Amino acid sequence: MSGVRVRIFQTIGRRALASLCVAAVLSASAISSRAAGAIDANTIARGEYLARAGDCIACHTMPGGKLFGGQRPMATPFGTLYSPNISPDRQTGIGKWSADQFYAMMHTGHSSDGSLLYPAMPFAAYTKVTRADSDAIFAYLKSVPPVRLANRAHDMRFPYNNRSLLLGWRTLYFREGEFQPDTAQSVEWNRGAYLVQGLGHCSMCHTAINALGGSSESKAFEGGLIPMQAWYAPSLTSNREAGLGEWSIEDITSLLRTGVSRRGAVYGPMAEVVYDSLQYLSDDDIRSMAVYLKSLPPHGGEATPPSATASEEKDRLFPPGGKIYDAQCATCHGAKGLGKLPDFPPLANNQSIQMTSSVNPIRMVLNGGYPPGTGRNPQPYGMPPFAQSLSDEEVAAVVTFIRTAWGNHGTAVSARDVSELRSAPLD
């Protein structure tokens, strides 16, 4: 009997040991699954952050529409483009794409079927994005709710509807390659350069676009009119415009993070960038962008003496413009244009008022607007529109006054300049 008991106990022991081993394997598997889930969650969260940095929502989500469903129209001098659905829907979105295909699109400007993308998709900037960051963005896009919405065909004029012509554009203006850090610069500077040059694609607006829809690297960040939107993106290299050499790092970071600073406020397309993208970036990343932007070498935007005709026009419009300013503007911006910070920006010594281009101040007087409502400035004060109450001549007068009073060095604007902008789109 004792031998039988031993064999029974041995059998029970082996079974118990086996059960413990199985339990241990299952426990290890559960831990591994949780770890993998945490890694995936971290990757998705990082991808969401990077998608914010790339401002993907602005183009791929219709106002009031479903996230990343596409179909947002983008008017260009060559016709109207419609952004594609980049939700994970398998029939109409990118649900069947692989990470390799997504990276190829970002890096080379080719869609999953090999077709060439129009450069409204900023692949000339996104080519600088690292593979790891591309994969994280793709993981995030695959995690959002799918949207069943077929892509809308572009409405491009002949011959621009022939995509083979893009080969010539790419030869002239596209340089493929990931961002390469400058070893002579700091880690902070390089992070800022990566965000500004790559995901932020800031040069797309702040560099003039030529008749072929391209821009010269030698003119990068020197400012230009945003086609079809009738807003002027000022030079970031000229202190006569928005050059940041005279700005403090704190002023730059405040403008990027909140949309307002002691030096001014953002309106128009830049307000959308701050609202959809920049306000969500970390303080460290915003500061790194400020460090890089402030380091841009001064170039372009040299002052040219006004012509005799321009001086005469300024002398004619200045007195009535001053009366309109006193009646309509001084309450908020002050009798001497000093503003009331942080809510009402100064107009005296304000670079954005004195630029060679008068588009932005004319548009602000005509259409008004608000800086973006951000987490750190949730209830911004706005500028009322005067398009209905002031004539073209009156708008020209008050803008001329603002651009030339209190030591400002702008030039006069004409009623014709105002008339051309009355019908400009409001977004």
Structure letter (DSSP) for residue 235: -
Residue 74 scores a pLDDT above 70 = yes
Mean pLDDT of 132-152: 96
CATH code 1.10.760.10 region(s) in the chain: 308-421
Query: Tokens 């994969």, residue?
Result: 135
pLDDT given for residue 36 in this prediction = 45
Scored b (16 or more CB within 10 A) or e, 29-38 reads eeeeeeeeee
- Position 185 scores a pLDDT of 97
Rounded-to-integer distance, Cα 412 and Cα 135, Å = 51
Average pLDDT over residues 170-189: 95
| DSSP-derived secondary structure letter, 195 | I
Neighbours of 284 (CB within 10 A): 11
Percent of the chain with pLDDT over 90: 62
148 has pLDDT over 90? yes
Model pLDDT for residues 264-277, shown as the tens digit of each residue: 888 888 999 999 99
Calculate the CA 133 to chain-centre distance.
Answer: 18
Q: In terms of Cα–Cα distance, which of 62, 289, 94 is closest to 103?
A: 94
For 183-228, the pLDDT digits (tens) are: 999 999 999 999 999 999 999 899 888 877 888 777 888 888 887 7
- The pair of three-digit structure tokens given for residue 140, joined into one six-digit string: 């995030």
* 3-class DSSP assignment, residue 304: coil
Q: What is the pTM of this model?
A: 0.84
CATH of region 308-421: 1.10.760.10
- Please name which of 84, 90, 92, 96 lies closest in space to residue 60, comparing C-alpha atoms: 84
Q: What CA–CA distances, in Å, run from 127 to 87, 130, 134, 197, 285?
A: 21, 8, 10, 10, 20
Give the model confidence (pLDDT) of 393-421 as tens digits: 999 999 999 999 999 989 999 999 999 99
The Cα–Cα gap between 60 and 184 comes to: 37
- Cβ neighbours of residue 96 closer than 8 Å, sequence gap 6 or more: 90, 112
Q: How does pLDDT run across 316-350, given as a tens digit for each residue?
A: 999 999 999 999 999 999 999 999 887 888 999 88
Q: Give residue-wise pLDDT tens across range 20-40.
A: 344 444 454 554 444 445 569
CA 325 centroid distance within chain:
33
Distance of CA 202 to the CA centre of its chain: 6
pLDDT value, residue 17: 43
Let me know: does 408 contact 348? Beta carbons within 8 Å. yes
Question: Of residues 286 and 303, which shows the higher confidence score?
Answer: 286
Confidence at residue 35, expressed as pLDDT on a 0 to 100 scale: 45
